[in-house]
Amino acid sequence: MAEGLNHHPDVDLQYATVTVRVFTRGILGLSVLDAQLAAKISAAARALDVDADPAAVQSVQLTMDALVTADVRPFWRAVLGYEDVAEEDLLDPRGRGLSIWFQPMDAPRPQRNRVHVDVFVPNDMAEARVAAALAAGGRLVDGSHAPDWWTLADLEGNEVDVATTFNRD
pLDDT tens digits, one per residue of 94-131: 877 888 888 888 888 777 778 888 888 888 889 999 99
With 0.75 as the threshold, say if the pTM is over it.
Answer: no
Strands in 17-148 per DSSP E: 18-21, 59-66, 83-86, 89-91, 99-104, 115-121, 139-142
Kindly state the greatest CA–CA separation across the chain.
54
The domain locations on the chain are 2-56, 59-164
What is the C-alpha to C-alpha distance for residues 66 and 44, in angstroms, rounded to an integer? 43
Confidence of residue 151 (pLDDT cuts 50, 70, 90): very high
What is the C-alpha to C-alpha distance for residues 25 and 77, in angstroms, rounded to an integer? 17
Question: Quick one: fold of 59-164?
Answer: 2,3-Dihydroxybiphenyl 1,2-Dioxygenase; domain 1 (3.10.180)
pLDDT reported for residue 168: 45
Confidence of residue 24 (pLDDT cuts 50, 70, 90): low
pLDDT reported for residue 134: 93
B/e letters for 67-106, b = 16+ CB within 10 Å, e = fewer, are eebeeebeebeeeeebeebeebbbbeeeeeebbbbbeeee
Region of residue 6 (phi > 0: left; psi between -120 and 50: alpha; otherwise: beta): left
How far is residue 107 from each of residues 63, 97, 110, 114, 118, measured CA to CA in Å?
A: 16, 29, 10, 12, 21
Decide if pLDDT at 2 tops 60.
no
